Structure 1
Amino acid sequence: MSEITLETTAASSRQVANTRKKRSKTALIVFIFVWLVLIGGGLTFAKLYTDQMQRDITADIERQTAAQISEMQKAYDGRIAKMETTYQSEITQLKEKVDALNELLTFAKDNADTKTDNSNKLYTQLNEVKKQLDELKKSLDVLK
């Protein structure tokens, strides 16, 4: 009987060892699976978070850029309006000078001899002023 008991005990200890090995392998597989799920979930949430941060930063930059463009447009419009006003006043002054020269020219024609050179000088001055007036008009048109 002792041989039978020894065989039964040996068989039962082998069976317990095999069961422990199977449990150990199963536990290891479950442990690795849980870690892979945790790592995969962490990577997924990290990707989602970085995408959301990127969208937020992009939207913020777009808002800031739009504000800066608006400010620059206002400053540009202000400068153009100022230059236009300046050119308009210069054109008005030149028109006044042309009118004054025309009056002088008319007066000089009425009072001058046929051989005098004064009318030629006045015509020359008048032409120069007209050229300056045309240049200012061209500059104003370019600015518009």
Structure 2
Amino acid sequence: MQPLAESTPVHSRTASARSRSSVKWFLLFWILMIGLGFYAVYSYTNHLKEQVLNELSTQSQQQLTVLKTDYESRIGVLSQQVKELQSTVDTFNELLTFTKDNASNKTDNSNKLYTQLNEVRKQLAALQKEMDLLK
């Protein structure tokens, strides 16, 4: 009976060593799987971040293009209005000069022209301020 008793502890040691070895491999496998999972999540998050940044960049470029065309069209309109007001001011200046040359002490037409000229100058100054704000 003694030979059986001696073989039992050796057999239990090898089974214990095998179970320890399989537990080590099992734990190593799960640690590796968890590490790969974290890496996959990190990579996917970076990919999504780059994709969102690219989309935002594209959208902002489109909005800037729209704003630029709107700005240029407004500048064009304001420039045209300034030219029209300048021609009106020039016309009033000519009329004022003519009226001053032909005015007598009995008429008050020159004061009316001065008033109209001042109003046009105020409008021109307001348009100039708008144009400067747009710049």
Question: Would you say same fold, with TM above 0.5?
Answer: yes
Amino acid corresponding to residue 125 of structure 1 in structure 2: K
Structure 1 portions without partners, runs of 5+: 1-5, 110-115
Whether contact under 8 Å (2:103, 2:110) holds in the other structure is no
Cα deviation digits, residues 71-118 of structure 1 (max 9, x gap):
112112201211221232133123213322432342334xxxxxx420
Aligned partner of 2:22 in structure 1 is 27
Aligned partner of 2:106 in structure 1 is 117
Amino acid corresponding to residue 46 of structure 1 in structure 2: V
Deviation at 1:135, TM superposition (A): 1.3
Larger radius of gyration: 1
Whether contact under 8 Å (1:101, 1:122) holds in the other structure is no
* Counterpart-to-counterpart distance in 2, 1:84 and 1:117: 40
What TM-score does the superposition give when structure 1 sets the normalisation length? 0.79
Whether contact under 8 Å (1:94, 1:129) holds in the other structure is no
Whether contact under 8 Å (1:91, 1:137) holds in the other structure is yes
User: Residue 70 in 1 paired to residue 68 in 2?
Assistant: no
Deviation at 1:17, TM superposition (A): 1.8
Structure 2 portions without partners, runs of 5+: none
Cα deviation digits, residues 18-46 of structure 1 (max 9, x gap):
21111011101111111101110121122
Aligned partner of 1:103 in structure 2 is 98
Give the secondary structure class of the aligned counterpart of 2:25: helix
User: Residue 86 in 1 paired to residue 81 in 2?
Assistant: yes
Amino acid corresponding to residue 79 of structure 2 in structure 1: E
* Counterpart-to-counterpart distance in 1, 2:128 and 2:92: 21
What TM-score does the superposition give when structure 2 sets the normalisation length? 0.83
Residues 135, 86 of structure 1: alpha-carbon distance in 2 compared, 3 angstrom cutoff: same
Indicate the RMSD between aligned Cα atoms, in angstroms.
Answer: 1.9
* Counterpart-to-counterpart distance in 2, 1:135 and 1:124: 17
Number of equivalent positions: 131
Structure 1 segments (4+ residues) deviating >4 Å: none
Aligned partner of 2:115 in structure 1 is 128
Deviation at 1:62, TM superposition (A): 1.5
* Counterpart-to-counterpart distance in 1, 2:25 and 2:2: 34
* Counterpart-to-counterpart distance in 1, 2:79 and 2:30: 73
Amino acid corresponding to residue 135 of structure 1 in structure 2: K
